[in-house]
Amino acid sequence: MARRKIPPIQRRQSRREPKRRFFLFCEGKNTEPAYFHALKLTLTGTLITVETRPGVGVPKTIATEAVKFAQSQGLTKKSRRKKNSFEENDEVWAVFDRDDHPNFDEAVSQCEANGVGVARSNPCFELWLILHERDYDRFDHRAAVQRELKKLRPEYDKRRGKIPDCDDLVTRVELAEERGKVLIERREEERKPHGNPSTTVGMLTCAIRIADKSARR
Q: What is the pLDDT of residue 57?
A: 63
Distance CA 104, CA 92 (A): 18
* pLDDT category of residue 79 using cuts at 50, 70 and 90: low
67-76, 126-135, 141-150: least confident range:
67-76
Does the pTM surpass 0.95? The reply is no
Distance CA 137, CA 52 (A): 28
Say which residue, 29 or 151, is predicted with more confidence: 151
- Region 161-181: mean pLDDT is 97
Given a cut of 50, whether residue 158 has pLDDT beyond it is yes
- Strands of the 117-122 sheet, one edge to the other: 46-52, 20-26, 91-97, 117-122, 198-199
- Cβ atoms of 166 and 35 within 8 Å: the answer is yes
State the chain's mean pLDDT as an integer: 88
Q: What is the pLDDT of residue 161?
A: 84
- Region 101-105: mean pLDDT is 91
Q: What is the pLDDT of residue 85?
A: 42
- Cβ atoms of 199 and 186 within 8 Å: the answer is no
Given a cut of 70, whether residue 56 has pLDDT beyond it is no
- Cβ atoms of 214 and 17 within 8 Å: the answer is yes
Helices (H), the chain: 31-42, 59-72, 104-113, 125-130, 142-152, 166-169, 173-189, 201-215
Distance CA 217, CA 16 (A): 8
- Region 193-209: mean pLDDT is 97
Closest CA to 215 of 72, 71, 47, 54: 47
- Region 186-213: mean pLDDT is 97
Given a cut of 50, whether residue 152 has pLDDT beyond it is yes
Give me the amino acid identity at 82: K
Given a cut of 80, whether residue 142 has pLDDT beyond it is yes
